Structure 1
């Protein structure tokens, strides 16, 4: 079952966020720390309570949270830029517990995000994925996602 996250879910969300960090750290130790989270508990509580953001969890029949989905609606209005007005659902985070992978839970979360975006009147769904995260790249490409643009870097040491 996919449901909105609650404040009581924060400890489990933090565990999943740490799993994401480990994957990123292994791919890019020059950018990502080996431990930590992108949110403090207080910040995560604020995200859960933010009307402009939605956090969903995938919960199994025993009540165990096996994944999460952080969503944010971004809008470009007529006056904001040379771009046409567009409403985008941005997947800020999609995670399936490392022990629950291979059960198509990520697909379920992704398709839930697509349905949510349609319900909210969005034009598209976007996300960021690190090029060094080959598994995530394959996963999103298999779901039909295509690169939108590439951000390049030169590391100055």
Structure 2
């Protein structure tokens, strides 16, 4: 199967496919709502992302079919001499396209976007239970250099 990917910013009509990919595993299924009717929360979030110049919700396509997605956030820091960082989140490859090197191409694209924007660092988080994803990120050169903490507020 061809893995000639094209990348573009997501459009509102891409949301059902993006949400479906986010929900397509045991962890995502417990927190995402992939019903055919999109909630106002997803639509509001999409609009905020779309309007924010420091956010990029990207899809990857093969022959016009969306096969992967990720969100890139550019964060201005004061520390490290005021450098810009890129945060990569919600990296997903459609289940029927996994194992074909698409994830590597997606992360390479995201890293190159960060370089284009002048970032000094790319960071990401991944659920500790996603052991295969952790191995994948380490294989790409990411280091588990910090311990992350989250506090759920709802």
Q: Same fold (TM over 0.5)?
A: yes
- Whether the 8 Å contact between 2:67 and 2:94 is mirrored in structure 1 is yes
Deviations 1:9-56 (A, max 9, x none): 11111111212xx33268xxxxxx36527x523322332332220011
Alignment: residue pair count:
140
Point out 4+ residue stretches in structure 1 off by more than 6 angstroms.
Answer: none
Name the Cα RMSD after superposition.
2.2
Say whether 1:104 aligns with 2:101: yes
Q: For residues 26 and 83 of structure 2, what CA distance do their matches in structure 1 show?
A: 32
Query: What are the ranges of 5 or more consecutive residues in structure 2 without an aligned counterpart?
Result: 1-5, 35-40
Q: TM-score, normalised by structure 1?
A: 0.79
Q: For residues 72 and 44 of structure 2, what CA distance do their matches in structure 1 show?
A: 18
- Whether the 8 Å contact between 1:13 and 1:68 is mirrored in structure 2 is yes
Query: What are the ranges of 5 or more consecutive residues in structure 1 without an aligned counterpart?
Result: 27-32
Say whether 1:6 aligns with 2:6: no
Q: For residues 5 and 152 of structure 1, what CA distance do their matches in structure 2 show?
A: 29
Q: For residues 118 and 35 of structure 1, what CA distance do their matches in structure 2 show?
A: 31
Q: 1:30 is matched with which residue?
A: none
Deviations 1:74-116 (A, max 9, x none): 1112xxx6x5422101002211011110111111110001110
Q: For residues 123 and 152 of structure 1, what CA distance do their matches in structure 2 show?
A: 23
Q: For residues 111 and 146 of structure 2, what CA distance do their matches in structure 1 show?
A: 20
Pick closer, same or farther for the CA change 1:25–1:122 going to 2, 3 Å.
Answer: closer
Q: TM-score, normalised by structure 2?
A: 0.81
